[in-house]
Every structure is written in C-alpha cells, then in structure tokens.
Amino acid sequence: MVDDTLKFLSLEDAINEVFIDLAVHPDKWYNLALFAKVYAFLTKGKARPGEANSNAEDLVEKGIWYAAKGVKNEKFIPAYDFKNLAIDLIPKVKSRIDEIAQVYEWTMWVNTFSGKGPDGEEGIWVETEMEKFQCTRCGNCCLKLHDAYCTSVDMEEVRRWHKEKRWDILEWVHIMNVGGEELFADIWFSPTTGEETTRCPWLRKLPNKNIYNCRIHETKPSHCRNFPKSKKHALTTGCRGFGDDPTFELVKRDLEKLYDNSQKIAK
C-alpha cells in the first residue's frame, strides 16, 4: 500500500484478493458469471454459470460448468466450492502479470498497471479511486450488518474498550474462545435477549433528516473507521459515498449477456 489512491500488490496477493472477493457472495448471479469469465480466461478453457442437482439432498445448486483447455467433458462445481477451484488455479497463474492485472480489473472495477513495487517486487499497481469517496452519513453501512466484516473485531479493540472502561460497549460483545485462547470477538449481541442484531445499536438518526450519527464515533471499531474497503465494497453494500457512479450497473449489464447465454445453452 502506498496511499489511499494508489496501492501496490504482489502477484500472489492480487490473485488471492480476486478469488477472495469472488467467494464473498458466490451465489449472486453476476458473481457466477464473473467467476466463469475469469476461469475461462485464465485456463484458456471454457466455463459457464449454471445449475446441477445435488446428489446428497436432490437439491438444485448454483455454480459453474467448466472444462480446462483441451478437455471436452464439462465438470460442475457448486458456488460454495469456488475457493477450492481457485486454490488449485492460483499457483498456475501467479506469474502471469498482464492476465492477473486484467482479472483484477474485471473483479474489483478499478484500473491497474503492472510494474515494480517499493521493494522492487514485480506486481500490479491499483488505482483505487478512493479519493472520490465522500461519506454522506446515509447510515447504510450500519443499518445492514451484512457480513463477517461488520460483525467481528480483534482482541486489540476489546482491550482498548476495557482500558477506556467502555462497559456499555463491552456488554454487546461476545468473546470467541478457540482452544483456550481468546482470538476475536463477535459484535453486536443484545445484552437483553442475547440475539445478534441486524443493525448497529450505536446508530442514531437525526430528527427530521436522513442523516445518521455514531454514538461511539471516537472509539468505534477499525472496520467502521476504514469503511468501505474499496470502491466495489461501497457500491455493492448500498454505500452512497461514490454518488451516482454507474460502475455496478455497467458491470451487471455486461455480465448479464454471459449469464443469459449460459441459460439458453442449459435449456
């Protein structure tokens, strides 16, 4: 990382970031289409989003049908197993700079260029576009706690709250003990019901305005301070910090063609 507008990634880090992102919501139709596009591009084979019956429970599962270069018979892999296919693929492609830069652009919706990093390592430079982000205090990031990124903190945050004597915050925290060691904490759980909340309990709407304030702004978790992680993260979570940026709709429009064609083949 160099600054908020430009960051450097090693080839391995870049391809890992691509596949981690694709695995966040693999069952979304546009991620099915994108994963198929990326796989076909990197292997020079073929892939298409589709469905198959599960042998275990006779359920229809979403995923992709794929075949490597020179292989005639397609195999099906369900969306939740994409990471296994990615793990097998990463060592085979991590030295192909231009191809990695291309799939990073397709996946993360930003421009890239290959080059050497601060330490002379070969990799890609990413134009993050985060300089365009302006928080509008719309509250969407806190109204919908949609993934693990929003609902866990490391123990450094917990220790800080102890030091600050923020018992009001700590009563909403569940410490996760793994093998006798406190590794991280889940947030936010109601101290009254013990149930996990679907929105941040510290969010307050200003009277007669569509603007929200954070009641623990001065000591909120680091993932709140660093939200969003990327332009794509903002556009896919309802964040309004990039205004009317059309990227998400344009990406879906392009992938829709691939997805629709695959459905015609399936029929």
Question: What pLDDT does residue 235 have?
Answer: 92
Do 99 and 193 lie in one domain? The reply is: no
Looking at the structure, tell me whether residues 32 and 117 fall in a common domain: yes
Mean pLDDT of 78-92: 82
Is 232 within the bounds of a domain? no
Among 34, 72, 29, CA closest to 51: 29
Classify burial at 163, counting beta carbons within 10 Å of its beta carbon; exposed 0-12, middle 13-18, buried 19 or more. Answer: exposed
Kindly report, residue by residue over 104-145, the tens digit of the pLDDT.
Answer: 999 999 999 999 999 999 999 999 999 999 999 999 889 887
Shared domain check, 195 and 162: yes
Residue 237 belongs to a domain: no
Q: Are 244 and 30 in contact (CB under 8 A)?
A: no
Q: What residue numbers bound the domain in which 211 lies?
A: 140-227
Cβ count near 37 (within 10 Å) = 20
Total number of domains in the chain: 2
**Residue 157 binned pLDDT confidence (cut-offs 50, 70, 90):** very high
Residues 147 and 101 in one domain: no
Same-domain check for residues 57 and 109: yes
Q: What is the DSSP letter of 139?
A: -
Domain identity same for 29 and 110? yes
Please report whether residue 117 resides in a domain: yes
CA angle 188, 241, 139 (to 5 degrees): 35
Residue 12 and residue 125 share a domain: yes
Q: Are residues 119 and 28 in the same domain?
A: yes
- When the pLDDT of each residue in the chain is averaged and rounded to a whole number, the result is 87
